[in-house]
Structures are given as C-alpha cells and as structure tokens.
C-alpha cells in the first residue's frame, strides 16, 4: 500500500461529520459506549425501538390477544408487509418479494425453480456457474442441487465468469457483493450477458440490501435472495427474503410449477387444510411454514432504520457516505500503516466496491482483529488472513474511521497483537 501525499487529520474528519446530513440517523441505534462498530456487514446494530416493539408483540399481541393476533395484529400478512419495505431498497415492486426462512433455504427454493425453468427451455444447458470465492453456503446448496438433478456446478475465478457465460449455462449464481473482498459485480451487465446466452441468474444480496443501491427490475434480474441481519439490522438470525421477477411468477402460475419446499402456508388456500397441494399465486407460494412473528417485528424495526434515510436522499445518500467512509479508511491506512504488510483486497474503483474494506496480512491477521476488539474496535476476520471492516453509514462517522485507524496503528506499532490472549481462536471469528 502507498501513502497519499496529503495527510488527513482527525479535525478534517470531525468537520466532515458536522456536514453530514445523515449524522442524526445514528440516534436510531443502541451503540455501546466506547465501541467503534465496524462489523455491520456481519451483524447490524440494535435499533433503539426494537426492544419496545418486541415487548409489545410479546406482552400485548401474544400475551393479551393470543391467537386472535393472527387477525387483529395482522400477523398473517406480516411477511408481505416487511418484504414490501425491503422491496423499496432493492428495486422490487409491491408483492414481488417475501420474507421467509433463511437465506440458505430461500436459495434452495429459487435455485431449484431456476434450474427447472432452464432445463425446460434449454435441455442441453446443465451448468450452474458460480465464483470459487462465493459464500460457502451458496456453493453447498448449489452442489447439493446439482447432484440431485444431474447438473454440473462449475466454479471459476472472478475474472473468468464472462468466459463461462455461453450456451452451456443454465444458471449463473452470484453474490452481488463478495463477503470476503467486498468486490461488487455489475448486476445489469452480467444479467444481460446471461440472458443473451439463454441462461438465468440468481443474485445473493446478503451484502447488498441496505448497503448499496440495487434495482432488480431495472436490471431485468431473474431471482434474488438476501438476509435480514446485516445491513438491514434485523437482529441475529433474522428472517431472510427472496424475490423473483414477475415474468417467472406468471409462468409458475400458468404452468402450476411448485417450489421444492411446498409448505402449508404456500398453499392457495391454507385454511382449507386440504390434503392436496395447490400452490398460491406469485411469490406467496415460496412461504413454507408459520411466520416467526417476534423475529419479523425486530426485522421490521431494522428495515425502518434504513428507510429513515429516504427524506435525506435514501440509498443514493447512504451510498455516497459509504464510499466516503471507505475511501477515508483506505487513505488513512495507506497514510499511517505503511510498512506493516497490509495489502488492500477491496477494489479502489467505486463501481466495484461494496460497503466494506478488506485488508490482507500474511502474519497475525486474526490476532490483530482480536487486539482491536479488545480496544473496542469491532471488525472481524476471514481466512486466509483477511481483516474485514464494514462501514454502515447509518451509524458510522468519519471520526470513527480516524479513531479506528489510530487503534490499528497502535496495535501494529507496539506489536500488541502478539500477546497470547489474542492468538487463541474462538469458535466465531
């Protein structure tokens, strides 16, 4: 890494915070005193109103109204209501997305459908193409489905993706923003290329929704999934979401196609309690079982924190601040950490960067992250040797970035990370 010529001071960062139109949104979150939280790309911070909202669901809706709340409190339609809010962040029209299950289960559902449609349209196209560096659960689900249905999972390096978009492609499976490097794909261009080759695309938005502008309909995307606990601030294990383009929903309706996990709430009339399955129309068929109402309440609070940016410019404003924060972090690390063996893994180009910065170090990366956490700077570690820092513009400021780098400098200069307590691997890294 090379140091920039113009030093950046903490006063410069404080001045940027004073000009920040999004600064007041930080008050939406409970952030522990003395903590610089740079791990919202793994688990978002707690919205202040989530506790009260969850208590309301528990004590009033469940406690007082009991089973009546499925009607009185609108529990049955809660997955669609929250999904429509998420839709405003990902370019989905009302009724096109649904909140249900986990990202892994939703990926299993939509990838299965995509494979079914691809096989019907191009029987000889039997390849699922994905990045070798894609998030493991996506690859595991794809491998399982490929084995079940006679497809071939082909893993390629990022630079080689375009060379595998050909007439053998059935489904292109990509995470929009790579979890390890923070590199972002050109969704529109890759979707267009896959369609031109006769294939379909499934996008994983786990590191995109609430972090970078996404417009699924404008990109003419096919399917998408995403989780609720990262930039959507829905809490640990929050329900996930899925989306499919209206043309695929219409085709499923016309051909009475099932998704593979056909649960009772995905039935056209679940309270008929029929022994014969008839799929609901549209995205509703992708619901499996009873919605997790308490978790949905927390997720809605988290989604609302992102939507609170709409009067201030919405996702465009959040994106501009995210890029400013990540630019600042990269510049400060290059200015102040030269000679410490840190290599930038995240693209410098804005069009290729998500809302995180990843640094690689051959020695001690895990221990360095642990030493930072002990100082109150919370990032995380990913093999091999990746220090990963997420920048959620709703609650991270420019002075936070300067302070985080100051701690990093001290950890490196003093070799604090070499202490034995920082070199003991925990179960979660």
Positions annotated as catalytic residues are 135, 204, 229-230, 388
Q: How is residue 404 written in tokens?
A: 């985080």
CA 263 to CA 279: how far, in whole Å?
Answer: 9
Any idea what DSSP says for residue 100?
A: -
Q: Is 163 left (phi over 0), alpha (psi -120 to 50) or beta?
A: alpha
How many alpha carbons lie under 13 Å from residue 187 in its C-beta half-sphere?
A: 27
* Helix residue spans in 348-418 (DSSP H): 365-374, 398-413
- The span from the CA of 350 to the CA of 363, in Å, is 29
Task: Say if residues 176 and 207 touch (Cβ distance below 8 Å).
Answer: yes
| Distance, CA of 157 to CA of 284 (rounded, Å) | 35
Instruction: Count other Cβ atoms within 10 Å, centred on residue 325.
Output: 24
Strand, coil or helix: what is 268? Answer: coil
How would DSSP label each residue in 48-93? TTHHHHHHIIIIIIIIITGGGHHHHT-GGGHHHHHHHHHHHHHT--
């Amino acid at each position: 890494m090379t140091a920039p010529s113009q030093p950046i001071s903490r006063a410069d960062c404080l001045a940027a915070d004073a000009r920040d139109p999004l600064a007041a949104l930080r008050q939406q979150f409970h952030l522990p005193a003395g903590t610089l939280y740079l791990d919202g790309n793994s688990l978002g911070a707690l919205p202040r109103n989530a506790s009260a909202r969850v208590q309301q669901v528990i004590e009033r809706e469940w406690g007082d109204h009991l089973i009546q709340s499925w009607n009185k409190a609108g529990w049955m339609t809660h997955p669609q209501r929250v999904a429509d809010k998420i839709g405003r962040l990902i370019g989905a029209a009302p009724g096109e997305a649904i909140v249900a299950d986990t990202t892994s289960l939703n990926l299993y559902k939509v990838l299965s459908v995509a494979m079914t449609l691809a096989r019907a349209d191009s029987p000889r196209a039997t390849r699922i193409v994905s990045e070798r560096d894609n998030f493991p659960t996506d690859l595991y689900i794809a491998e399982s489905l490929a084995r079940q249905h006679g497809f071939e999972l082909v893993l390629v390096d990022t630079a080689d993706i375009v060379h595998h978009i050909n007439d053998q492609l059935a489904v292109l499976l990509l995470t929009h923003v790579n979890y390890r490097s923070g590199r972002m794909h050109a969704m529109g261009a890759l979707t267009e290329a896959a369609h031109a080759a006769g294939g379909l695309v499934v996008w994983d938005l786990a590191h995109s929704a609430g972090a970078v502008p996404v417009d699924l309909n404008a990109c003419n995307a096919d399917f998408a999934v995403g989780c609720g606990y990262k930039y959507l601030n829905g809490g640990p294990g929050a329900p996930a979401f899925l989306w499919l383009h209206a043309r695929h929903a219409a085709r499923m309706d016309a051909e009475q196609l099932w998704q593979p996990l056909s649960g009772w709430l995905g039935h056209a009339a679940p309270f008929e309690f029929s022994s014969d399955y008839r799929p609901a129309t549209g995205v509703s068929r992708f619901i499996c079982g009873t919605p997790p109402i308490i978790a949905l309440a927390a997720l809605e609070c988290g989604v609302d924190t992102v939507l609170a940016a709409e009067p201030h410019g919405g996702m465009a404003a959040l994106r501009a601040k995210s890029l400013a924060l990540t630019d600042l972090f990269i510049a400060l690390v290059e200015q102040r950490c030269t000679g410490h063996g840190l290599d930038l893994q995240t693209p410098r180009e804005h069009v290729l960067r998500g809302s995180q910065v990843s640094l690689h170090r051959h020695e001690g990366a895990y221990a360095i992250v642990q030493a930072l956490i002990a100082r109150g700077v919370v990032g995380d570690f990913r093999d091999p040797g990746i220090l990963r820092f997420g920048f959620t513009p709703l609650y991270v400021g420019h002075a936070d970035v300067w302070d985080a780098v100051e701690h990093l400098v001290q950890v490196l200069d003093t070799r604090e990370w070499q202490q034995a307590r920082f070199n003991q691997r925990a179960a979660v890294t």
